[in-house]
Structure 1
Amino acid sequence: MKKSERCLAILEILQRQHKVTVTDLAQRFGISEMTIRRDLNFLARQYNISRTHGGAELGNQPVVRMISFDEARIAHKETKEKIAAMAATMIRSGQRIFVDAGSTTRIILNYLNEETKAVVVVNHLKVAEQALQFENLSVIMLGGDMIRITNCSSGPVAEEQLKNYQLDIAFIGAAAIGTDGKLYDGYSPEARLKSSLFSVAKKVYVLADSSKINTYDLNEFGSLSQIDGLITDAGIDEEGMILMKRHRVNVMIAE
C-alpha cells in the first residue's frame, strides 16, 4: 500500500474511532511502528489531529484539512502564484464569480485588475476581507455555520444561499484529484458546498498544482467530467495528462 493510501485509511479510522495507537496501526498495515509514527506526524501537520505518546487522537469532531493563511507555510507557493495569475485573466467586468478559500484560489485576488467591476461570492473571512480592498467589487459572504478551525462558512444555510445565485465562473481548489477522475476535499461540509456550485455556475474551473493529481483525500465533491477546465503547472506528468485526456478536460498550463 502506498503512503498516500495508508494515510487516507488512517484518517478514515480516526473518523470512526477518534483515537488510534501506533501499535494497532502497525499491526493492521503490516509495517513498522517507525513508519506509522512518520505517517502520523505527516498527518498532524495537515489535519486537525493531535499526536499523543502512543498514537494520535481526533476528539469529538470531524477530520479537517488545515487551511493556512500564513504565506510562509504555503507549499509550492511560486507555482500557485502562476496558476492564480492565469485564473485572474479570465475574469471580466460585470461577472459574478465564486472564489473559495484554497491556498491557490484565494491568491487570484492578488492579480485582479483594480478596474474590474464584479460580484465576488466567498465563504472565508480572510478572502472576504481581501476582496473588500477592491472598491469596484461587490462582496457577498455566505452565511451558515462558521468552522472555527478554518474560518469558513458551510452547512445547509450556506448551501441553500448559494443555490439562489447564478454565477458566471466558480474558481475552486481540490485537495486531491484521483485516478478515478473524482475531485476530493479534506472536509465534508466544504465538499458539499463545492458540489452545489456545479448547479449554479455557468463555468467551473479547478485550480490545483500538479502535486494534487493522482492523489486522494477523504471527501468526494465532483468529477473531472463536470468541470470546464483545470489550471495547473508544467509539473503535470504523463500519467496526469492521460487522466485528463480520458475525461476530456481542458488543461491550462500556467507558465
Structure 2
Amino acid sequence: MKKNERCLAILEILQKQHKVTVTELSEKFDISEMTVRRDLNSLAREYNIARTHGGAELGNQPVVRMISFDEPRIAHKEDKDKIAALAATMIQNGQRIFIDAGSTTRIILNYLEKETRAVVVTHHLAVAEHALQFENLAVIMLGGDMIRITNCSSGPVAEEQLKKYQLDTAFIGAAAIGSDGKLYDGYSPEARLKGTLFSVAKKIYVLADSSKMNTYNLNEFGSLSQIDGLITDANIDEEAMTLMKRHRVNVIIAE
C-alpha cells in the first residue's frame, strides 16, 4: 500500500474510533513502528489530529484538513496565482458567481477588474470581505455553522440556502483529483456544500494546481464528468492529461 493510501486509511480509522496506537497500526499495515510514527507526524501537520506518546487521537470531532491562510506559506503559490488570474478573466458583467474557500479560488478577486458588475456568493469570510471592497459587486455570504479553522460557513443551513440560488458559474477547489475521476475534499461538510453546487450552477470550474492530480483525500464530492472545465498549471503531466481526456474535461492551462 502506498503512503498516501495508508494515510487515508489511518484517517478513516481515526474517524471511526477517535484514537489509534502505533502498535495497532504497525500490525494492521505490516509496517515498522518508525514508519507509523512518520505517517502520524505527517498527518498531524495537515489534519486536526493530535499526536500522543503512543499514537494519535482525534477526539469527538470530524477529521478536518487544516487549510493554511498564511499566504506566504501556501504551497505552489506562483502556479495558484496564475490559475486565479485566468479564472478572474472568465467572470463577466451581470453574472452570479460562487467562490469557495480553496487556496486558489479565494484569491480570484485579487485579479478581478474593478469595473466588473457581478453577484458574488461565498461561504468564506475573507472572500466576502474582499468582495465588499468592489463597489460594483453585490455580495451574499452563506449562513450556517462557522468553521473556526477555515473561517467558512457550512452545514444544513448553508446547503439549503445555496439550493435557493441559480448561479451562472462556480469556481471551486479540490483537495485531490483521483485517477478514478473523482473530486475529493478533506472535510465532509465542505464536501457536501460543494456537492450542492452541481444542482444550482450552470457551469462549474475546478481550480487545482498540478500537484493535486492523481491523489486522494477523505471525502468525494463530485466527478470530472460533472465539471465544465479544469483550470490548472502547465506542469500537469501526461497521466493526468490522459485522465482528463478520458472524462472529456476541458483543460485550461494558466501560463
Q: Same fold (TM over 0.5)?
A: yes
Query: 5+ residue gaps in structure 1?
Result: none
Partner SS, residue 214 of structure 1: coil
Q: Which stretches of structure 1, 4 residues or longer, exceed 4 Å deviation after superposition? A: none
Work out the CA distance in 2 between the residues paired with 1:175 and 1:153: 18
Alpha-carbon offset, residue 204 of structure 1: 0.1
Partner SS, residue 110 of structure 1: helix
Residue matched to 2:158: 158
Work out the CA distance in 2 between the residues paired with 1:157 and 1:130: 23
User: Which amino acid counterpart does residue 32 of structure 1 have in structure 2?
Assistant: S
1:136 and 2:148 correspond: no
Residue matched to 1:80: 80
Residue matched to 1:92: 92
Work out the CA distance in 2 between the residues paired with 1:218 and 1:110: 30
Residue matched to 1:148: 148
Partner SS, residue 199 of structure 1: coil
Query: 5+ residue gaps in structure 2?
Result: none
Work out the CA distance in 2 between the residues paired with 1:37 and 1:72: 28
Partner SS, residue 241 of structure 1: helix
Residue matched to 1:119: 119
Work out the CA distance in 1 between the residues paired with 2:123 and 2:76: 23
Task: State the superposition RMSD in angstroms.
Answer: 0.8
Work out the CA distance in 2 between the residues paired with 1:21 and 1:230: 40
Work out the CA distance in 2 between the residues paired with 1:37 and 1:74: 25
Residue matched to 2:34: 34
1:201 and 2:216 correspond: no
Point out the more displaced range, 95-104 or 28-37. 28-37
Residue matched to 1:46: 46
Work out the CA distance in 2 between the residues paired with 1:77 and 1:38: 26
Alpha-carbon offset, residue 224 of structure 1: 0.3
User: Which amino acid counterpart does residue 212 of structure 1 have in structure 2?
Assistant: K
Alpha-carbon offset, residue 145 of structure 1: 1.2
Residue matched to 2:175: 175
Residue matched to 1:23: 23
Alpha-carbon offset, residue 54 of structure 1: 1.4
Q: Alignment identity in percent?
A: 85
Work out the CA distance in 1 between the residues paired with 2:10 and 2:163: 34
User: Which amino acid counterpart does residue 176 of structure 1 have in structure 2?
Assistant: A
1:8-42 CA-partner distances (Å, limit 9, x unpaired)? 00100000011111111111111111111111111
Alpha-carbon offset, residue 227 of structure 1: 0.1
User: Which amino acid counterpart does residue 88 of structure 2 have in structure 1?
Assistant: A
1:132-170 CA-partner distances (Å, limit 9, x unpaired)? 111111110000111222221111111111011111100
Residue matched to 2:4: 4
Work out the CA distance in 1 between the residues paired with 2:132 and 2:69: 17
- State the TM-score, normalizing by the size of structure 1: 0.98
Partner SS, residue 56 of structure 2: strand
Work out the CA distance in 1 between the residues paired with 2:54 and 2:8: 19
Partner SS, residue 183 of structure 2: strand
Residue matched to 1:108: 108
- State the TM-score, normalizing by the size of structure 2: 0.98
